Amino acid sequence: MMHSVVAAVALAALSLPIGGAAHRKAEDGNRKYEEKAYDDALRAYTEAQVAAPEAPELHYDIGNVLYRQQNFEGAAEEFSRALLSAPPTLSPSVAYNLGNALYRMEKYDDAAKAYRRTLEAIPSDRDAKRNLELSLRAAEQKEQQKKNPQQKKDPKQEQNKDPKQQQQQQKPSSGDDQRKDEKQQAPEPKPGENRKPSEKERQPAGGMSPEDARSLLDSLGEQEKAALRKQAERRVRQEEQGPEEDW
């Protein structure tokens, strides 16, 4: 069963600093993606790029579409371009998905580097830790096969196998099946393949960390401090009551 620690709450393009037709195209791409209409989603994101050609959010979402279409090379290229200018709230997820794409391309050393980049930002990320271990193990196995070619399977033995048995071995494992078969099969990256940043991760650009907020508060006068406290109290009350409905 496929699962991921990070919930697919929203697509990155929702936070794009663009408006008008481009924003509508990005939203249309999000809807098509959720409907698994990947060709239509790709078309919408590409059209949105006319207004924001280097927006990392669009490169990220296009990469996710290409990954779903099993175009891992194209996905890796889009994720790499997204990393060039991705904000800190997005880059860990971009690096994680880049690692998965590189793993599927059997570029295990590069995949490990991508997972390490995620862990540099989020050391507690269990998915990234596990995938890093799998990448390092796969890289070691690949190196051993280069040094000991005789360890590779004999093609004649493969031909004599029952076709159903061959299909079962070729099918990539996932979820519970993956955990059961780990000792027998080459590792697959833990699904969470198109990991989207959660709402908590996708804070608006320019949001302050708690340390920055405390520093700013220390520099303010008493009146400004009181105003900020009232504003914070109002925000807490609104969160407790929930959003007001429009009638």
- What's the average model confidence in pLDDT over 13-22? 61
The type of residue at 150 is Q
To which CATH superfamily is domain 12-150 assigned?
Tetratricopeptide repeat domain (1.25.40.10)
User: What confidence tier does 96 reach under pLDDT thresholds 50, 70, 90?
Assistant: very high
Polymer length of the chain: 247
Every domain of the chain and the residues it spans: 12-150, 210-241
User: In 73-112, which positions are buried (b, 16+ CB within 10 angstroms) versus exposed (e)?
Assistant: ebbbbbbbbbbeebbebbbbbbbbbbbbbbbbeebbebbb
pLDDT in tens, 162-202: 555 544 444 333 333 333 333 233 445 554 455 666 443 43
pTM check: above 0.85: no
Instruction: Phi first, then psi: give them for residue 15, nearest 5 degrees.
Output: -95, 15
User: What confidence tier does 157 reach under pLDDT thresholds 50, 70, 90?
Assistant: low
- What's the average model confidence in pLDDT over 104-131? 96
Three-class secondary structure of residue 79 per DSSP? helix
